[in-house]
Amino acid sequence: MNVGIILPYLKSRGTELQALRIADGFIKKKINVVLFVIQGWGDANMYNQFNKIGVKVVNVGKPNDIGEKHISFIRVFSLIKLIYINKCEFIINRATLTSRIAGYAGRALFVPVVAVLSGCINKTVVNKYLRGVFSVIKFILLGCPSKIISVSLEGGENFKKSYPLLSSKVYSIQNGVEVPEQYIDNYYFEKDKDFVFCFSGSLDLNRKGIDLLLHAIQIMIFTHKVKNVSLVLIGSGKDLYKITTMSKELKIEQYVKFSGEIKDPISKMLNYNAFVLPSRREGMPNALLEAMSIGIPCIASDCNTGPREIISNNENGLLVPSENSIELAKSMMKIYSSEKLRRYLGVNARKTIKKSFLFDQMINHFIDVLGIKNDQ
């Protein structure tokens, strides 16, 4: 059994890393994986990681010189040839950018194509007659897929309501993570040391809301007079300079540290006191799942989809209203001030992941939805 996964390029970001995890899960189930990189470029480390787990990586074309957000549709012919040569029986498309090229290549070969929607899916309120028209348009834009997978339950339901003619094709498979052996079991921190909040993800202001987190840290320092606090931002992204500049403008640059890309962010988070995800929009955030899997107390914004499916407020984490740095600061102060609360939230967070968000459960759901017969 050969399954093809399609990505526009290979960066060390959430979509690509999740594709790597899914590929690894398939291979462990004795399912061969071929990765098609449409633009033919990416981080050398990501190519190595796919090769290391046994994935055959195929560049569909040479690097595109007109920008990463544009893909020449003519590459569909190369993709058709490569899917045929590699005898793929299913195609999983992991990015909206490659939806049409993946869908039409699959249709040309009568190979089922599954479109994975990993971003936030908002409920669209439109006239019931227009919903039918929009359903057809969306189906075409997604490349006429055989099945559509949403990584969040709420996102899947929103999609069905917005595009009712496609509802029979929609499935929801929540992301899952492997639970590491190491975890946090000491929630005490010495007052003469910094209490460290951390964030892990793309440094994208518009999507991840890091500006809200900076303002919350400023409130803690200048309003609540907390001086033994710091913030570590794990990751890279297009807004690194803007975030650096903003931290200086807010006069908190000495409290904000940048770690850059880290191969294993989970091991880094073991050294910190709390995790914060202030996103404006999410699908099903892997960073939050990973943080909870090691028992670090977590705070997340209650954006349209994602965190509210993982966190039960005041039980296994704290949810705060989106776009509200004042409420975010209040929740950060609660975590900072109470060892008992940190322990309660952290222990329950790890239990939640073990019960409902295991990686192997996610892979089995994928296999079921794809209809792959697997003896394991």
What residues does each domain of the chain span?
2-176+358-370, 195-356
pLDDT at 143 over 80: no
Q: Which pLDDT value is given to residue 32?
A: 97
Instruction: Name residue 358's beta-bridge partners.
Output: 177
Burial of 332 (0-12, 13-18, 19+ CB in 10 A): buried
Rounded CA-CA distance 283/95 in Å is 13
Q: What mean pLDDT comes out for the span 325-339?
A: 98
Torsion of CA 26, 28, 32, 33, to 10 degrees: 50
Q: How confident is the model at residue 299 (pLDDT cuts 50, 70, 90)?
A: very high
Q: Which pLDDT value is given to residue 50?
A: 97
Which residues neighbour 370 within 8 Å (Cβ) at sequence distance 6 or greater? 3, 90, 92, 112, 114, 147
Report the predicted TM-score, pTM, of the whole model to 2 decimal places. 0.90
pLDDT digits (tens, 9 = 90+) for 231-277: 999 999 999 999 999 999 999 999 999 999 888 899 999 999 999 99
Rounded CA-CA distance 216/329 in Å is 4
pLDDT digits (tens, 9 = 90+) for 75-89: 889 999 999 999 999
Give the chain's end-to-end CA distance (angstroms, integer).
14
Which residues neighbour 100 within 8 Å (Cβ) at sequence distance 6 or greater? 73, 140, 141, 142, 143
Q: Which pLDDT value is given to residue 130?
A: 56
Tell the residue number behind the tokens 């459960």, with chain if given. 361
Rounded CA-CA distance 183/186 in Å is 9
pLDDT at 215 over 80: yes
Do domains 2-176+358-370 and 195-356 share one topology? The answer is yes
Q: What mean pLDDT comes out for the span 289-312?
A: 96
Q: Which CATH class is domain 195-356?
A: alpha beta
Structural contact between residues 217 and 195, judged by C-beta atoms closer than 8 angstroms = no
pLDDT digits (tens, 9 = 90+) for 99-139: 888 988 998 999 999 999 876 555 554 455 555 555 666 66
For domain 2-176+358-370, the question of CATH label 3.40.190.10 is answered with no
Q: How confident is the model at residue 352 (pLDDT cuts 50, 70, 90)?
A: very high
Rounded CA-CA distance 290/104 in Å is 35
H runs (alpha helix) in 229-358: 240-249, 265-269, 286-293, 307-310, 325-337, 339-356
